């Protein structure tokens, strides 16, 4: 009858590091191999996608994405090993949080 929902995100010194939207674009990049294709596949403007990735880079202590501009095929963007770890870590925490909140709500019997 009542449902509890949540959004979580991780901040660094210079703003948001990871959140649901950033995870989404990272996964699309992993799939597509380029930021522009990833944005297109999500129906998102390139600018918005770039801003998300930019904020990730600004706050990451270890590189999450490697961008290559120029070259054959124009370049591209890859997710690092560390980035892949961060994605699964975030999704894991997020799921745990949902479970935790459902449990909390159930205990209350509103």
Partner DNA sequence: GGGCGTTGTTTCCTGCAAGATATAACGAAA
Partner DNA sequence: TTTCGTTATATCTTGCAGGAAACAACGCCC
Residues forming contacts to DNA in the complex (CB under 7 A) are 34-37, 44-48, 50, 53-54, 67-77
16 close to 9: Cβ distance less than 8 angstroms: yes
Q: Which does 104 bind (CB under 5 to 8 A by kind): a copy of itself, DNA, none?
A: a copy of itself
**Closer CB to DNA, 71 or 109, in the complex:** 71
Q: How far is the CB of 42 from a copy of itself (least distance, A)?
A: 23
CA distance 17 to 30: 18
Secondary structure element (H or E) that encloses residue 68, with its range? strand 65-69
CB of 108 to DNA, least distance (A): 27
Shortest CB 105 distance to a copy of itself, Å = 7
CB closer to DNA, 6 vs 69: 69
Q: How far apart are CA 110 and CA 107, in angstroms?
A: 9
List 75's β-bridge partners, or say none: 69
Map tokens 């129906």 to a residue.
43
| Nearest-angstrom CA–CA distance, 36 and 29 | 9
User: In the complex, which residues of this chain contact a copy of itself (CB under 8 A)?
Assistant: 1-13, 17, 61, 86, 89, 93, 96-97, 100-101, 104-105, 108, 110
């Amino acid at each position: 009858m009542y449902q509890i929902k949540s959004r979580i995100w991780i901040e660094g010194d210079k703003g948001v590091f990871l959140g649901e939207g950033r995870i989404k674009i990272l996964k699309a990049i992993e799939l597509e191999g380029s930021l522009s294709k990833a944005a297109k596949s999500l129906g998102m403007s390139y600018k918005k996608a770039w801003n998300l990735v930019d904020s990730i880079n600004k706050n990451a202590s270890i590189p999450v994405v490697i961008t290559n501009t120029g070259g054959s095929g124009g370049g591209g963007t890859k997710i690092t090993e560390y980035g892949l770890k961060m994605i699964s870590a975030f999704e894991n925490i997020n799921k745990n949080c949902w479970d935790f909140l459902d449990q909390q709500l159930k205990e209350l019997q509103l």
